[in-house]
Amino acid sequence: MKSNRLGWGFLSPTLIILAITGFLPFLYVVYIGFFDWNIFAAQKGLVYTGANNYRRLVFDADFLRSLWYTIKFTFWAVSSELILGFALAQLLTKDFPGKTFFRIIHALPLMIAPIAVGALWRLLVIPGFGPIWYVLEEWFGIEYRIGASTSQAFITTVLMDIWHWTPFVTLTMLAGLTSVPKDPVESAMVDGANQWQVYRYITIPMMMPIILTTVFIRIMDALRIVDEVYMLTGGGPGDATRYIGLHIFRVVFPKTDYGYGSATSLLTLYFTIVFCWLLFVAISTSQKNS
């Protein structure tokens, strides 16, 4: 009765736009990755070089270091957010007056522009008038300079990410906790299980799909962090907080070495996809088991 042609017609604008801005660039980057293309070089056009760009890339210490920083950052940020978010969500499951108010306020960082989050944090840590700087320096006597100390800069970016994204984890965990049925928990309590055992054997296994989904999305987003860190530290001091997205944005992109840049982009994409795919497999396996 209904022709499929009309259905495709409704779908086609979406597909065309996604193809132009999503799929085509992917094919293009794969293609250019095999060429030498530098508009300021003697030879202006594309020169086929086979895998030379990738050969250079696997020995590129800057690139590999920024990959390693990204993984380190992702690990610390996401694991802290999970623990904090879970604890906070646990406290929100109870009904108490003002709960809605707290929840609304808590969702605020999720809506703020990442670049503004960076600005926000920069204002907190500027030597001279930032409150965090003041407290650490005056009350605890710690010399706090994110422009000079690599470890402090790293910790500050992690803290900023925690500030920005813990609310997200809290809210998803809350959705998970409220969907856990009460009966098994209560009967386990009657049988004399303690709080820890209830978590270990009932709550967490039941929430596993949501926990993994949250981890998945958080890792994806942490791996591609750019704006906040750019605003807070600019990737410095040195390259201590130059995470992979920032590396492409600040170092690779401004150079006109398009072939090498494409190879870098593609390899970043490759690592992200493999990482996410492994997580994805873990999620679907755990879903099948539960």
Partner 1 sequence: MAKTTSKKTLNWIGTYLVWIVATLVVIIPIYWMFIVSARSRVEMFGAPSLIQTTFFAENYTKPLLNPTFQRYMINSVIIATSNAVLVAVLALIATYALSRWRLPGADNIFFWTITNRMAPPAAFLLPLFLMYTRIFKFGEWTLFDTRLGLILLYCVFNLPFAIWLMKGIMDGIPKELDEAAMVDGAGTWSILLRIIAPLSAPGLAITAILSWVFAWNEYLFAASLTSVEARTITTGLAEFVTVTGTNWGEMAAVAMLALLPALLFLSFVQKYIVMGLTFGAVKE
Partner 2 sequence: MDTIMDNTPQTEETPAEFAVAPPHKTRPGFLPIDTNTFDRCFISVVCFVAIHLLWMRFIESFIPLVMATVISLVLAVIIVRWG
Distances 201 to 102, 178, 188, 208, 210 between C-alpha atoms, Å: 30, 17, 10, 11, 16
Tokens for 178? 């409220």
Q: How far is the CB of 131 from partner 1 (least distance, A)?
A: 4
Q: How far is the CB of 59 from partner 1 (least distance, A)?
A: 20
> What residue 283 binds from partner 1, partner 2, none (CB within 5 to 8 A, per partner kind)?
partner 2
Residue 18 in the binding site for partner 1 (CB under 8 A): yes
Q: How far is the CB of 55 from partner 1 (least distance, A)?
A: 19
**HEC secondary structure over the chain:** CCCHHHHHHHHHHHHHHHHHHHHHHHHHHHHHCCEECECCCCCCCCEECCCHHHHHHHCCHHHHHHHHHHHHHHHHHHHHHHHHHHHHHHHHCCCCCCHHHHHHHHHHHHHCCHHHHHHHHHHHHCCCCCHHHHHHHHHCCCCCCCCCCHHHHHHHHHHHHHHHHHHHHHHHHHHHHHHCCHHHHHHHHHCCCCHHHHHHHHHHHHHHHHHHHHHHHHHHHHHCCCHHHHHHCCCCCCCCCCCHHHHHHHHHCCCCEHHHHHHHHHHHHHHHHHHHHHHHHHHHHHHHHC
> What residue 284 binds from partner 1, partner 2, none (CB within 5 to 8 A, per partner kind)?
partner 2
| Separation between Cα atoms, residue 121 and residue 46, nearest integer Å | 43
Binding mask 39-78 for partner 1 (x = CB under 8 A): ----------------------------------------
Q: How many residues bind partner 1 (CB under 8 A)?
A: 94
Nearer to partner 2, 84 or 279 (CB): 279
Q: How far is the CB of 272 from partner 2 (least distance, A)?
A: 12
Nearer to partner 2, 47 or 175 (CB): 175
Nearer to partner 2, 128 or 181 (CB): 181
> What residue 142 binds from partner 1, partner 2, none (CB within 5 to 8 A, per partner kind)?
none
Residues 105-134 that bind partner 1 (CB under 8 A): 105-116, 119-124, 126, 128-131, 134
Binding mask 219-258 for partner 1 (x = CB under 8 A): -x--xx-xx--xx--x---------xxx-xx--xx----x
Residue 140 in the binding site for partner 1 (CB under 8 A): no
Residue ranges that bind partner 2, judged by CB under 8 A:
51, 54-55, 58-59, 175-176, 179, 209-210, 213, 267, 270, 273-274, 277, 280-281, 283-285, 287
Q: How far is the CB of 168 from partner 1 (least distance, A)?
A: 6
